[in-house]
Amino acid sequence: MFKGLKRDIRAVFERDPAAKNIIEVLLCYPGLHAIMMHRVAHFFYRKRLFTIARLISQFSRFLTQIEIHPGAKIGEGLFIDHGAGVVIGETAEIGDNVTIYQGVTLGGTGKEKGKRHPTIGNNVVISAGAKILGSFTVGDNSKIGAGSVVLKPVPPNSTVVGVPGKVVARDGRRVGPAAAPVIDLRHDLLPDPVAEAINCLLHNIDRLEKRVLELEKQLARQTAAPPPEACEPAVKSVFTGGGENSRGQTSG
């Protein structure tokens, strides 16, 4: 238990540049408080002292706004940043060196007994507001974008965004025809499928507007009256050659 606690404290310094010293971390980080109390609650849960475990969990929830069921299995080095609104279900399993931001839910999708919550691999980053619902695995080194709703297994080394969540990158490269490098660390720079769709629509609108302007110019050129220079030969023919022929016909 205490070995895991040391690793949890070290994780705060490794992943939060705002952490200044050990006293501040121990007193001012609700995510760390929730993890510490969960490890105690989980100890009693494993001893089948369920009521004591739930009381500790309930006190932790009141103190930190983070709800971790005492039955959840959590590895070393978990870092819960900010933490408000985080919910971790009874049969959830979390690997080592996982980072969870505020508003994350590791929940189930039904009322059946047994395993019904997700299993999170090692070195996973779950961004703010993401929901991972169901009994499946999120592979090692994966990243879940903010606000995503994940309902299916996630392969290792993948990036998932959207509702429902879709894999948009794997092994550091985009999934799809436009294979380009993907930033693999900062969750705030994950690709936004909604923004990409809007940008695509705006690009098409701009292209269509230019095409319409070109067609309008072509139509204007085709329907415009001929310039004065084009009328001069016809006028001369009337008053020269055409006029003489007319006089000859009249005199005859």
Report domain extents, the chain.
Answer: 2-190, 200-251
Is pLDDT above 50 for 133? yes
Segment 46-69 shows an average pLDDT of 94
187-225: pLDDT as tens digits: 556 667 777 888 889 989 999 999 999 888 888 888 775
Per-residue model confidence (pLDDT) at position 2: 62
Q: Considering just the CA atoms, what is the radius of gyration of the chain in Å? A: 35
Segment 12-37 shows an average pLDDT of 91
Region label for 178, one of left (φ > 0), alpha (ψ between -120 and 50) or beta (otherwise): beta
Topology at the third CATH level for domain 2-190: UDP N-Acetylglucosamine Acyltransferase; domain 1 (2.160.10)
Q: Please provide the distance, in angstroms rounded to a whole number, between the alpha carbons at the two ends of the chain.
A: 129
| Half-sphere exposure in the Cβ direction for 33 (13 Å, CA) | 22
Per-residue model confidence (pLDDT) at position 238: 56
Is pLDDT above 60 for 116? yes
Q: What is the dihedral of CA 150, 127, 160, 192, to 10 degrees?
A: 120
Per-residue model confidence (pLDDT) at position 229: 59
Is pLDDT above 50 for 8? yes
Is pLDDT above 50 for 102? yes
Among the residue ranges 103-112, 121-130, 141-150, the one predicted with the least confidence is 103-112
Kind of pairing between the strands at 166-170 and 158-161: antiparallel
Residues 138, 144 contacting (CB under 8 angstroms):
yes
The CB density around residue 193, as the number of other CB atoms within 10 Å, is 15
User: What global pTM score does this model have?
Assistant: 0.66
